[in-house]
Amino acid sequence: MGVTILPHSIISFLNSNFSCQALTGYQSEWPLGLAWNKQLDIFLRTEFINSVTENNHTEIADSQVLKR
């Protein structure tokens, strides 16, 4: 038995033997950061990063994005 925090979009992919409970209320959302090695060209990673940035519902100032 264990506990994990997953994005809501993943729930539809889980087997029916999982019990899911949504986080709600104060502090149920928090900022995330991503870091990756741009020297490695990994298609799935790039698709994931694109998905995260396209589905981000908050505005991100250029000063918050670290580009290397």
**pLDDT tens-digit series, residues 7-43:** 777 777 887 788 888 888 888 777 778 888 889 999 9
Instruction: Identify the pLDDT of residue 13.
Output: 80
Instruction: Identify the pLDDT of residue 61.
Output: 53
- % helix / strand / coil in the chain, to the nearest 5? 30, 0, 70
pTM over the 0.85 mark:
no
Instruction: Identify the pLDDT of residue 67.
Output: 47
Q: Is the pLDDT of residue 66 over 80?
A: no
Here the tokens at position 5 are 């925090």
Ranges of H-type helices in 1-68: 43-54
Q: Is the pLDDT of residue 56 over 80?
A: no
